[in-house]
Structure 1
Amino acid sequence: MLNGLPCDPVILLSVVNTKLRDYYKNLDELCDDMGITGTELTEKLRMIDYEYDEEQNQFV
């Protein structure tokens, strides 16, 4: 499903936000590089009440 990313949403949040901060300009770049869809990633993080903020380039 998430192509090697952690299944636990809290750990996933940490990993994704670190990758966004350090390596990617936006969510689309991360998803393209990781071979996942933004929809599946955002749905998983919505489970713990986090949404992607384009201005911050982070899930908040």
Structure 2
Amino acid sequence: MLNGLPSDPMILLSVVNTKLRDFYPSLQALCDDMEISEAELKEKLAQIDYEYDGLKNQFV
């Protein structure tokens, strides 16, 4: 589940990338800390053609 995050994929993208940039060294760290599903987050952002790039630590 993505509790506490926006349901609109474009806003979700902005929020997640900001959190990754400012607070978390990896997507796994963000998901663990926020207790959200990494797979569900990836699926939601894949709907707007974004995928996680571990080297950049962002969805691109």
Matching of residue 38 in structure 1 with residue 57 in structure 2: no
What is aligned with 1:48? Answer: 48
Aligned length: 60
Per the normalisation by structure 2, the TM-score is 0.97
For each residue in 1:2-26, what CA deviation from the matched residue of structure 2 results, as whole angstroms up to 9, or x when unmatched?
A: 1110000000000000000000000
Structure 2's unaligned 5+ residue stretches are none
CA RMSD, Structure 1 to Structure 2 (Å): 0.5
CA drift at 1:37: 1.2
Q: Tell whether 2:25 aligns with 1:25.
A: yes
Provide the rounded CA distance (Å) in 2 between the counterparts of 1:34 and 1:44: 16
Which residue of 2 is the match for residue 4 of structure 1? 4
TM-score (normalised: structure 1): 0.97
Aligned-partner Cα distance in 1 for 2:37–2:6: 15
Q: Which runs of 4+ in 1 moved over 6 A?
A: none
**Structure 1 CA distance, aligned partners of 2:38 and 2:52?**
10
Give me the identity figure in percent. 72
